[in-house]
């Protein structure tokens, strides 16, 4: 029931706007979870909880279900229900760059395993939810504690080439990623299974109206309030509870007074406008992703990250730069009427411990750009790149393939229209993280 003390239009509208922004990454994540773990008719279905599904080929412009896809790495996806017991995530000893990220229900990272975070060695990692009070059994390499009872695992394994031999070698690495419930790993009796929820069927229009609060109420049941959560979370949850949104999954918008529903609708419009404005004004996407300790209660930043591409990795793992405007202020740049270039000075190539790449995306939608070379990104690993005479490197971002052979070798195909370019630096050096290194401008030609 609605608390009468909250039937204050200004308070309800403000709460609805903040709730919509807070819910955005949670609902975007549930949309993916529903398709991959619950809807066995969906093409992206992985097989339920506790099962890896591996992508074994690079993305193409035909793959329209992914936002800002990249072909530096190929993903492996899994979902875990941690209500009954933890799970054990095992990784092999592997020289090839890889990272396995455990992300929570609101897409924040709970922990990372892989080349940078834990090294190349094999290990067994316990992933435990907020209710678990046990002790890790012998043999466990490390423990990842999560704030939510549902989590995703997204592994990235480096693709060094598209030849069949490299794809086969990459697939062999992926198949050695392993998931086991704790009782199976420890050889103990299985616990009592958690009750099966009535999972709400996802529909994209949920994000457009007051029904988003019904989904949020259901999902907060997997996201308990604890002392570790930031004050902003506790404060917002209190106001939501006064509206009847408390994680029990019983919220019913139809019983709300008309004046309350009207203010909720206005608040939703306010929240959407704030997110749209924040995305348009974004100058640097490097700090959009990370852990709860890093992002805290900055719900707008989390929502922007989810809007541009959920499941981004923390900055120390991958630094994300974004050319969303050219050097003359055109936002977004448009390759339909002019060409562009990005020139890295000789001593200013992206400082990467592992590797870097620049990927062009057609707007809106952040889709890969079809082109006759089937080339979707350019980076330090791209065969045949031609460096400038002074040792620098110029990338030619344009719609048509350059006639000049040297320019053609460095061609980053752009669409016939608006676009953005995303720079990814895997294993960024300190000069990237502290801001001493900055990407060069996107310059019209």
**Residue pLDDT, tens place only, 251-305:** 998 888 888 899 999 999 999 999 999 998 887 666 789 999 989 889 999 999 9
- Please report, in angstroms and rounded to a whole number, the separation of the first and last CA atoms in the chain: 61
Please, what is the Cα angle at 415 between 409 and 416, to 5 degrees? Answer: 120
pLDDT (tens digit, 9 = 90+) per residue, 134-162? 999 999 999 999 999 999 999 999 998 87
CA atoms within 13 A on the CB side of 72: 24
Percent of the chain whose predicted confidence (pLDDT) is above 90: 81
Nearest to 107 by CA among 28, 220, 52, 34: 28
- Read off the tokens for 357: 């790449």
Burial of 39: CB neighbours in 10 Å, binned 0-12, 13-18, 19+? middle
pLDDT (tens digit, 9 = 90+) per residue, 311-358? 889 999 999 898 989 999 999 999 999 999 999 999 999 999 999 999
At 9 the pLDDT is 65
DSSP per-residue string spanning 147-215: SSSEEEEEEEEE----SHHHHHHHHHHHTT-EEEEHHHHHT-PPPPPPPPP-PPPP-GGGGGSTTHHHH
Q: What is the mean pLDDT of the chain?
A: 93
At 159 the pLDDT is 92
At 1 the pLDDT is 52
Q: What are phi and psi of 231, to 5 degrees?
A: -55, -35
Q: Is the per-residue pLDDT at 6 higher than 90? A: no
Please, what is the Cα angle at 35 between 31 and 38, to 5 degrees? Answer: 110
Query: Please, where are the H alpha helices in 243-367?
Result: 258-280, 292-295, 299-308
CB atoms within 10 A of CB 95: 8
pLDDT (tens digit, 9 = 90+) per residue, 94-105? 999 999 999 999
Distances (CA, A) of 310 to 108, 225, 392, 397: 9, 23, 33, 26
pLDDT (tens digit, 9 = 90+) per residue, 10-51? 789 999 999 999 999 999 999 999 999 999 999 899 999 999
Q: Tokens 């019904």 correspond to what residue?
A: 214
pLDDT (tens digit, 9 = 90+) per residue, 233-246? 999 999 999 889 99
């Amino acid at each position: 029931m609605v608390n009468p003390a909250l039937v204050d239009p200004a308070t309800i509208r403000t709460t609805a706007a903040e709730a919509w922004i807070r819910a955005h990454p949670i609902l975007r994540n549930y949309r993916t979870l529903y398709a991959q773990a619950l809807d066995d008719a969906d093409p992206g279905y992985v097989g339920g909880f506790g099962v890896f599904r591996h992508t074994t080929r690079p993305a193409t412009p035909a793959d329209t279900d992914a936002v800002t896809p990249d072909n530096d790495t190929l993903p492996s996806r899994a979902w875990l229900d941690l209500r009954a017991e933890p799970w054990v995530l095992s990784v092999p000893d592997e020289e090839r760059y890889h990272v396995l990220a455990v992300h929570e229900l609101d897409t924040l990272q709970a922990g990372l395993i892989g080349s940078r975070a834990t090294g190349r060695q094999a290990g067994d990692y316990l992933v435990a939810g907020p209710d678990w009070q046990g002790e890790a059994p012998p043999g466990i390499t490390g423990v990842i504690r999560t704030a939510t009872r549902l989590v995703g695992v997204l592994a990235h394994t480096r693709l060094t080439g598209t030849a069949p031999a490299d794809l086969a070698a990459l697939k062999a690495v992926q198949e050695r990623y392993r998931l086991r419930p704790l009782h199976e790993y420890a050889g103990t009796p299985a616990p009592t299974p958690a009750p099966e929820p009535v999972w709400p069927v996802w529909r994209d229009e949920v994000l457009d109206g007051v029904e988003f609060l019904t989904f949020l109420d259901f999902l907060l049941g997997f996201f308990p309030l604890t002392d570790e959560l930031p004050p902003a979370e506790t404060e917002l949850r209190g106001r939501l509870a006064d509206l009847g949104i408390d994680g029990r999954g019983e919220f019913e918008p139809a019983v709300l007074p008309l004046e309350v529903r009207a203010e909720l609708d206005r608040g939703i419009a306010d929240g959407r406008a704030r997110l749209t404005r924040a995305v348009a004004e974004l100058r640097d996407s490097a700090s959009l992703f990370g852990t709860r300790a890093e992002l805290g209660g900055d719900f707008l930043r989390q929502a922007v990250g989810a809007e541009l591409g959920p499941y981004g990795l923390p900055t120390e793992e991958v630094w994300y730069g974004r050319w969303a405007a050219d050097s003359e202020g055109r936002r977004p740049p448009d390759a339909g009427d002019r060409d562009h270039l990005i020139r890295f000075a000789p001593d200013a190539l992206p400082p990467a411990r592992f590797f870097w790449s620049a990927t062009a995306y057609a707007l809106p939608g952040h889709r890969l750009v079809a082109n006759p070379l089937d080339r979707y990104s350019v980076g330090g690993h791209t065969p045949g790149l031609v460096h400038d005479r002074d040792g620098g490197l110029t990338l030619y971002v344009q719609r048509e393939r350059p006639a000049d052979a040297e320019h053609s070798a460095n061609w980053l195909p752009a669409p016939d229209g608006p676009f953005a370019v995303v720079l990814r630096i895997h294993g960024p050096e300190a000069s990237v993280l502290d801001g001493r290194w900055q990407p060069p401008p996107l310059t019209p030609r």
